Amino acid sequence: MKDVPDPRPVVDLVWFHADYERLFDESGWKMIEHHLPLGRPDEPYGWLAETSIAPWVIYVAAKKSAR
């Protein structure tokens, strides 16, 4: 993070898409969709790679029906 007073690297955990699918399935949820938003060149931010590599993923999930 380069826009905060403390620019030291942060500790991050890597979860792959399959990890989230398994987590949702095992916890009784189903994934509806997922989004990989990108930064846009017209935004007032000094994006580095965020215009071509999504910096986060948004998962949309729903509770599985109890049948």
Q: Is residue 29 part of a domain?
A: yes
The model's pLDDT over 16-63, given as tens digits with 9 standing for 90+, comes to: 999 999 999 999 999 999 999 999 999 999 899 999 999 899 999 999
Total tally of structural domains belonging to the chain: 1
CA distances 50 to 3, 34, 46, 65, Å, are: 15, 17, 9, 37
Which range marks the domain in which residue 22 is found? Answer: 17-63
- pLDDT of 66 reads 63
CA distances 40 to 1, 25, 34, 44, Å, are: 18, 33, 19, 9
More confident residue, 62 or 10: 62
State the pTM of this model.
0.71
Query: Is the CB of residue 31 less than 8 Å from the CB of residue 20?
Result: yes
User: What 3-state class would DSSP assign to 17?
Assistant: helix
- pLDDT of 67 reads 57
Is the pLDDT assigned to residue 8 strictly greater than 70?
Answer: yes
Question: Given the structure tokens 């599985």, which residue do they identify?
Answer: 64
Q: Is residue 40 part of a domain?
A: yes
Q: Give every CB contact of residue 19 below 8 A, 6+ residues apart in sequence.
A: none
